[in-house]
Structure 1
Amino acid sequence: MAQAEVSQPVVVTTPALPMTIPAEHGATWAGQRNVWLWRLAGYLGMALSLLLIGLPVYWMISNAFKLSQEIYHLPPTLYPHNPTLQNFVNAWHAVPFDRYYVNTIITTFFGSGFEVLFGVTSAYAFVFLRFPKREWLFLILLAALMVPGQITILPNYVTIGLLGWINTYQGIIVPGASVAYGTFLLRQYYKTLPIDILDAAKVDGAGHLRTLVAIVLPLAKPAIVSFGLLSIVAKWNDYLWPLVITTTKDMRVLPIGIRWLMVEEGTIEWGNVMAGAIFVVIPVLLVFLYAQRYIVDGIAAGAVKG
């Protein structure tokens, strides 16, 4: 008998396909990784900034409640072991802080008010009025931003002296009542306003004053408030010009009061100085925290269009 043939199974092999990730998925993963890296870098930068800014503030508050022995103790203590309010009492009686508060409020209120008024009106003129050499005048205004304020102290002092305003409120207020930065900031914001609304106001017969008050000011409120707050902080913390232009202790302002705490005694009582610094910081800090969102919105919107 013939031997039966046994059929062998046929094995079909196919080449292995490489396991590859589509290009779009790889790009998506790389993009997400970059986003996370940038976000991590942002958080680290924010934490570092918070540490650099918050640590001196914490140290000021901590030392304001410490006794002198604890302030000079080595190694330094991170928090007061025996908190006391005596430093605040000593600081308040060492210099006339009540009078300094009055002087600072007056100079800050009127100085910032005039600065905002001049900034609002001059920015309107640069954007909505047509007059010869407008762009050249704006370039001169930008050049004024590059001049350090210390350079103008001597000519301002001579001018104030000729007017007889030495050691007066107007002598402190007037030289800083108009600053180029306010005009620049508000001009940049005005240029982002919808032109259709302004044209409609002109068709209705609105003049420049009505357009400014009824149309421009409400639309530009974030920029105006942000500039006003920046001006308030600058005027409240101003030290050099009030020191130069005033000659009596009754006309000094709060930042100068802190300096008086440092020279009033033979040795510096740092607890009193830190308590005095808190007297200066708290009012403007509350105002700043209340309206800080306007500062961010105003500066960001003013940078949208040049």
Structure 2
Amino acid sequence: MRGGRLARGGRLARRGRLTRRTPAWEKALRYVLMLAVLAVTVGPFLWQLSTSFKGTTEDIYTSPPRFLPEHPTLHNYREVARIIPVWDYALNSLKVAAASVVTNLAGASMAGYALARLRFRGRKAAGIAFVMALLVPLESIVIAQFTMVRDLHLNNTLVAVALPGAVGALNVLLMRNAFAAVPREIEEAAVIDGATAWQRFLRIGLPSVRGTLAVVAIFAFMGAWDDFLWPLIVLSDPDRFTLTVGLDYLHGTFTQNPRLVAAGTVIAVAPLVVMFACLQRYFFRGAGEGAVKG
């Protein structure tokens, strides 16, 4: 009886420590730090968004700077579409990004499951190889990649743009850690019931790591959509340019009109914002992946 009262008293004491009120100065400091981080990370994009809606008669170099446009207009977006085939470039980038997402989801999930659950000779060496691949900078292998796609007669194609990032080493390691966190008892019960490795992968593994799959999809889409160096090297036909390469014309030819550059930047960033908004619930859940619902 006495032990029960002591246990209840300990729980109440811990609950009291967890629910203690935060001092006002600590709250204020947290909000100041969050606002500072928000200004540094989101501020430049919001400024570009504001600049993209400012007309040619509005001075964007006023002091102090004026954030909200006086007369918002879509003229800059129409002008970007008139100068370069921005929507064709966006379609090319979307094709490459979609291919990267599909191949990374399929390839990284299968490789991660094999590293985490299957027993085969050389499994540890394969895991070390994926870790070592993260340490190799792109600039050191770009010539070898270009030689490979040239020998395959794929240069100047969107397939060549998507091929090097078809399965990312980081995505494989993310999936491996997610599968390793799934309780083994569930798979052992499936083995007793006669489930094959593919059945365990499709019916137990994948439903348990949906959050990490969303993380991999976002990383793959962002990496393919934002890539500039590799498409610039492998593509020579302007009709096949991706959005990042095509928008470089705005920086080189129309530097005197930052409104057009800002409009092109917003066009390039908007799909990333939309995708993250759609998958953000699964993205944040993927940080604690591994829990299995009953």
**Normalising by the residue count of structure 2, what TM-score does the alignment of the two structures yield?**
0.86
The Cα shift of 1:247 comes to: 0.3
Is the contact made by 1:262 and 1:269 (CA closer than 8 Å) also made in structure 2?
A: no
Query: Could you tell me which of 182, 185, 190 is aligned with 2:174?
Result: 185
Relative to structure 1, the CA distance from residue 36 to residue 298 in structure 2 (aligned partners, 3 Å threshold; closer, same or farther) is: farther
Is 1:276 matched with 2:280? no
Distance 2:127 2:140 in 1: 21
Q: Answer whether contact 2:93 2:225 (CA < 8 A) is retained.
A: yes
Q: CA deviation digits over 1:149-197, x for unaligned, max 9?
A: 2222111011111111111111111111011101111111111101111
Instruction: Give the deviation of 1:69 after TM superposition.
Output: 4.7
Q: Distance in 2 between matches of 1:294 and 1:165?
A: 35
Where does the alignment leave 5 or more consecutive residues of structure 1 unmatched? 1-24
Residue 41 of structure 2 aligns with which residue?
A: 53
Q: Which residue of 1 aligns with 2:156?
A: 167
Q: Does 1:89 align with 2:62?
A: no
Percent sequence identity over aligned pairs? 26
The Cα of 1:66 is off from its aligned counterpart by 1.2
- Could you say which residue in structure 1 is the equivalent of 2:100? 111
Could you give the per-residue CA deviations for residues 90-121 of structure 1, whole angstroms, max 9, x where no partner exists?
01111101211221111011112111211000
Match of 1:211 in 2: 200
- Return the offset for 1:41: 4.6
Q: Partner of 1:19 in structure 2?
A: none
CA shift for structure 1 position 37: 6.8
Equivalent-residue separation in structure 2 for 1:40 and 1:188 (angstroms): 37
- Structure 2: runs of 5+ lacking an equivalent: 1-12
Matched, 1:44 2:6: no
1:139 to 128, 149, 156: 128
Question: Does the Cα contact within 8 Å between 1:70 and 1:77 map onto a contact in 2?
Answer: no
Aligned AA for 2:258?
W
| CA RMSD between the two structures | 2.4
Residue in 2 aligned with 1:20? none
Contact conserved, 2:80 with 2:263, CA < 8 A, in 1? yes
Distance 1:157 1:78, change over 3 A: same
Q: 1:36 to 1:117 in 2, by over 3 A?
A: farther
Length, aligned pairs only: 276
SS at match of 1:176: coil
Give the structure 2 partner of residue 18 of structure 1: none
Cα distance in 2, alignment partners of residues 34 and 270 from structure 1: 45
Match of 2:275 in 1: 287
CA distance in 2, matches of 1:211, 1:240: 40
